[in-house]
Amino acid sequence: MTVGIVGLGLIGGSFAKAYSAAGWEVLGFDRENHILDFAILSGAVSGLLDGESISRCDLVLIALCPEDAVAYLTEMAPYIGTKPVVIDCCGTKRFICSICFPLAKEHGFTFLGGHPMAGTHNSGFKYARPNLYHNAPMVLVPPDFHSIALLNRVKQLLTPAGFGHISITTAEEHDRMIAFTSQMPHLVSNAYIKSPTAGEHKGFSAGSYKDLTRVAWLNPTMWAQLFLENKDYLLYELDGLINQLSCYRQAIDENDSAALIQLLDEGRRRKEEVDGQ
């Protein structure tokens, strides 16, 4: 079995190491030649993924930012052929699926939107690890929700990554949910760390500080693109948070203990409701 991986950063590199460890032939492409060379030297990648080799892959994983993923697939579409299943790994789905579903149909290859729900605050191939996706969720956006054979085939092709759960959804629903579960935490964390007090935290911070600030360490170019592509859903969540925070601020400013207790209890009960005790 052969997998082609486009983009050998944390996401693509971890896929490369996982599939290589499972005994697959791994072909790779990265716009930085030295990264591809290093991946080959490390044994995670066995050769170059190009216009001649892509058509013999069983699976092709595109681990690039959405705009770069679309550009790559547009360029390579005539060479893919009917054998590979192509899955992108972008953080938003409406943009890439709206372009790549018609592109795949025009050129006769199979494309699904995908989003592996795993990562770290580090980026780059040197931080990639073969167990990054073990027990993590994988979200898929198929072109046809009625093709059980395709979904079964894709699940088999993804087995070496070790995902714990695979969800099937629409591009619209994916982007709506991801605005809350992923984009908002990154945005809030990045804004929170800008407090002038942050520079003095050592000796006064523990788990809550670390939890809240972990994802402030992000790739600005990639996340800006994801935020803007999903601005409608992200603004909805952001406006909701601002409204909630203004209520807390008002209660504190007015020394309104009863209102503050109510707000805090509402949040505690909401956490219990959505996540259990």
pLDDT at position 277 is 62
From first to last of its 277 residues, what are the pLDDT tens digits of the chain? 999 999 999 999 999 999 999 999 999 999 999 999 999 999 999 999 999 999 999 999 999 999 999 999 999 999 999 999 999 999 999 999 999 999 999 999 999 999 999 877 778 898 899 999 999 999 999 998 888 899 999 999 999 999 999 999 999 999 999 999 999 999 999 999 999 998 888 888 888 999 899 989 888 998 999 999 999 999 999 999 999 999 999 999 999 999 999 999 999 999 999 987 6
pLDDT of residue 205: 82
DSSP string, the chain: -EEEEE--SHHHHHHHHHHHHTT-EEEEE-SSHHHHHHHHHHTS--EE--TTTGGG-SEEEE-S-HHHHHHHHHHHHHHH-SS-EEEE--S--HHHHHHHHHHHHHHT-EEEEEEE----S--SGGG--TTTTTT-EEEEE-S-TT-HHHHHHHHHHTGGGT-SEEEE--HHHHHHHHIIIIIHHHHHHHHHTTSGGGGG-TTT--HHHHHHHGGGS--HHHHHHHHHHTHHHHHHHHHHHHHHHHHHHHHHHTT-HHHHHHHHHHHHHHHHHHH--
Is the torsion defined by CA of 159, 165, 171, 177 positive or negative? negative
The pLDDT value recorded for residue 274 is 92
Which pLDDT belongs to residue 131? 95
pLDDT for 232 equals: 98
- pLDDT confidence of residue 20: 96
Do residues 151 and 142 touch, judged by C-beta distance below 8 A? yes
* pTM > 0.95: no
pLDDT of residue 145: 86
